[in-house]
Structure 1
Amino acid sequence: MTNVEVEYCDPCGFIDRATETQTQILESCGETVDGVELVPGEDGIFEVRVDDVVVFDVDEIEYDLTTIMEGVCGQLSECDCDPSELVDEDTDSTDCSPGCC
């Protein structure tokens, strides 16, 4: 099975994004992953890794749960979900507040 890690900036307050991401992955792909680990970080990080392969990095693209799920599902050969049907599009997509990190 597969391990997923969500590393988030704790000082930035990204815990809500991290738990939302974790919940979505577990609800959508829970049968194909061993677990989704939350990893506190710093310096504005928000990164999602599937078996150590980075599938989302907020430094490359703005936070978007649909994009994250596309990356996760793309790495899970046993996952046949449609990420665009799974995610609430009203998700907060604000960046790290200036000076938070």
Structure 2
Amino acid sequence: YQAETRTALRVVEFEDGRTKFNPLAALGPAEIEGWMRAHALPEHPLKKFGFLSVGCMPCTSRVAPGEDSRSGRWRGQAKTECGIHVSRTDAK
């Protein structure tokens, strides 16, 4: 349920003296939605306006019916990732 650039993302990573936790890295859409229901978490308020994958303001746009949920990210650009979640060293 991550971008293609994050398919190898691990739950715990050690990078440049930092420890990064990615608790949802191994979960798919159904698992995330089930966890949200089980914990009575609301949907993101922008989802009802067509924002199915929300990032920062300049890289996020609405998704048209039938489009992939991540098609609203970096629309019209070759870029697909801001880089904050891309590992630069081996994950452990």
Q: What is the TM-score with the length of structure 1 in the denominator?
A: 0.28
The structure with the largest alpha-carbon Rg is 2
Q: Which has the higher strand share?
A: 1
